[in-house]
Structures are given as C-alpha cells and as structure tokens.
Amino acid sequence: MQPALTDSEAVTAADVLSLVRDDLALVERELREGAACAVEAVTAIGQHLQASGGKRIRAGLVLLAARLSDCPEQPRVRLAAIVEMIHAATLIHDDVIDESPLRRGRPSANAQWGNQRSVLAGDWLYMQAFRLALGERNFAILDALIALTQQMVEGELLQLEMLGRVVTAAEHLDLIERKTARLFAVASQLGALAAGAGAGAVEQLGRFGRHLGLAFQMVDDILDFSAAAEVLGKPVANDLREGKMTLPAIYAYEAADASGREAIEQILRARPAEGVWPRVRELVARLGLERARHESREQAALAARALEEFPASRWKEALLRLPELVIARRN
C-alpha cells in the first residue's frame, strides 16, 4: 500500500518519492523485464545502468503527475518505465559522444563494453521504450514520445555545434530545453494523456515539467562547478573541460573583463596557459554561480505556479515539493 497520508498533511521534500514507492518498485520490475534481451550485451548494459542507481526523479514525476490525473496503475507504471528507458538510452549515447569513462562514479557503458555495443544497446532501449508505448494504444502518447526523442537528438546535434566556442544564454537555454526540459515536460503529461484529461490540464502539467526540467539542469550546471569531484563522480568543471559552456560560465563570461574572457576562451580551446584553471574557477564562483542560482530558483517558482489551478490533494502537494527538492540538490 502507498503511505497513508491525508490531503491535509504536509509532505516534505524527503517524503515526495515515498508517496509512490510501491509504484516505483513496480517500475523497477518493469525495467528489469523490459531490458531483457536475447543478445547478452543488451541485457548486461541495461542491468549495469539500472544497478548504478539514480534518483528516479523522472519516474517519480510520471507517477505523481499521473496520480494527480487519476491515471490507473498499469499505464502509469508502464509510462514511468518508458521514460526511464528513454533516459537510459540518452545516457548511453551521451557517454559515447562525450567519451566519458564514468557515469555516476562507475565505469560508463562505453568504457566497459565499447562504443559499438553501447550505441546499439542504446538504440535497442529506445525501440523497446516505443514498443512498450504501443501497448497503450494511444496516439497522443506516441506523438509526445516521438517529438520528445526528435528534440533530444536535435539537442545533441546543437551541443556538438556549440563545442569549443562561446555561446549565449539564449543558445544554452534552447539547448537544455531540448536535452532536459522536454523530457520533464512529457513525463509530467503522460499520465494525463493516458487518463484522457482535458487539453488545459495537459498543457499546465507540461509547463510544470518544463520549468522543473530547466531548474534541474541549471542546478546540474551549478553543481558541476561547486560540488566536490567525489560527490559528482567526475572532475569539477567537467563540462567546461569538454568545451561546453553552461549557465554559470556564460554569466561569468558576460560579466568578466577582457582578460577574464580570454581565460575562459583558452579553456574552451583546450589550450589553457599555466594558472588559467584557478582563475576561471574563481571567475565563475564570483560572477556566474549566484546569477545561475537565481535563475534556477525563478524556474522552480514558475513550475509551482503552473499547478495553481489544480485542486488541493496530496499528489499536488508532492509535486509542489519537487521544485524544492531540485533546488536543494547536492549531487
């Protein structure tokens, strides 16, 4: 049974996902069964990703928003598993593209099985997610998932075009809209689509997820500079090391003097002079981090505002805690 909370009880950030813990257990089972394949490498890579953990915030988002829309158990669990499979496929492909040796502090799939097997396993997971989605017999869900996948691929292509050069905040926001926010938006809408909710409710849930996803990615970008390497499971400022400008670095670049801008450009060109890295980290800490934190808090507030028209319930209260949980992240 789900935890016996009444609508009037306050739900803390720590309690949010416990509201759907039984559903999450079913999602884990669905992921285990769904990732099973006659080809051993696909199964092994799927199990490797599942064992590496993760917060399951996307699955939790699907489940909570689905409960808000009175979506039955079977479709909401299946849809949560679909979102996690799509997310897992993107992680596999991201690590191949970025040549990342680690994922969540463990060897990445490409480091362990090589690029060729990893790419094909990621492709298989994408197709398996859509195969499961076909079981819903719902064209609106398929349309949302197809558009989502296309936008995420567009985001990867845009990021490749931006590598090693200065980008604007507008360019970066367009990128994270495609790579991160769209997945959160669709995750928020799937249960409502399965339950046949009205267009207004679907649109409001999409706005909630979009702003939540933007806040999530902005906090990710902040932690890339501010958290310890052992907490991140990768080097500090890893994105900038890979030639990617994120919001803290963009804001620091905008506010820096000519020498500060040149230091950031040296990092992007992968040819930093001695002593440039400490200078750049100091610039980002002084000129970029607080502005990025302010922007992430603004996005979290916009997410909460998107749910104003929904009636009070424990599911709405839990969803309203998610932006707080995202802003408070430390890893």
Classified as helix, coil or strand, 102 is strand
148 and 74: one domain?
A: no
Maximum distance among all alpha carbons in the chain?
Answer: 60
Distance set, CA 84 to CA 43, 53, 57, 107, 213 (Å):
15, 12, 9, 20, 15
Residue 270 has what pLDDT?
A: 87
Do 54 and 95 belong to one domain?
A: yes
pTM for the structure as a whole: 0.92
**In a shared domain, residues 121 and 143:** no
101 and 128, same domain (yes or no)? yes
Shared domain for 63 and 162, answered yes or no, is: no
Task: Check whether residue 256 and residue 301 sit in a common domain.
Answer: yes
How many folded domains does the chain comprise? 2
Give a yes or no: residue 239 inside a domain: yes
Helices (H), the chain: 21-34, 40-51, 57-68, 73-98, 109-113, 115-134, 139-162, 169-176, 182-195, 199-226, 229-232, 238-241, 247-255, 258-268, 276-283, 289-305, 314-327
Q: Do residues 268 and 148 both lie within one domain?
A: yes
1 lies in some domain: no
- Domain range for 103: 9-137
Asked if residue 2 belongs to a domain, the reply is: no
Domain membership flag for residue 45: yes
CB contact at 8 A, 66 and 195? yes
Tokens matching residue 222: 């902040």
Do 117 and 17 fall into the same domain? yes
Domain boundary among 137, 152, 179: 137
Within-domain flag for 103:
yes
Same-domain check for residues 95 and 167:
no
The predicted pLDDT at position 167 comes to 97
Domain end (from 105, 137, 169): 137
Q: Is residue 315 in some structural domain?
A: no
* Cα separation, 249 vs 222, whole angstroms: 9
> Do 155 and 292 share a domain, yes or no?
yes
Instruction: Give domain status of residue 169, yes or no.
Output: yes
Q: Does residue 58 sit within a domain?
A: yes
Q: Digits of tens for pLDDT over the chain (331 positions)?
A: 444 444 434 445 457 889 999 999 999 999 999 989 999 999 999 889 888 767 789 999 999 999 999 999 999 999 999 999 999 999 999 999 988 888 877 889 999 999 999 999 999 999 999 999 999 999 999 999 999 999 999 999 999 999 999 999 999 999 999 999 999 999 999 999 999 999 999 999 999 999 999 999 999 999 999 987 777 767 788 899 899 999 999 999 999 999 999 999 999 998 888 889 999 999 999 999 999 999 999 999 999 999 999 999 999 999 999 999 899 888 7
Based on the fold, state whether residues 92 and 190 are members of the same structural domain: no
Do 23 and 63 belong to one domain? yes
Predicted confidence at residue 227, as pLDDT, reads 84
CATH number of the structural domain spanning residue 213: 1.10.600.10
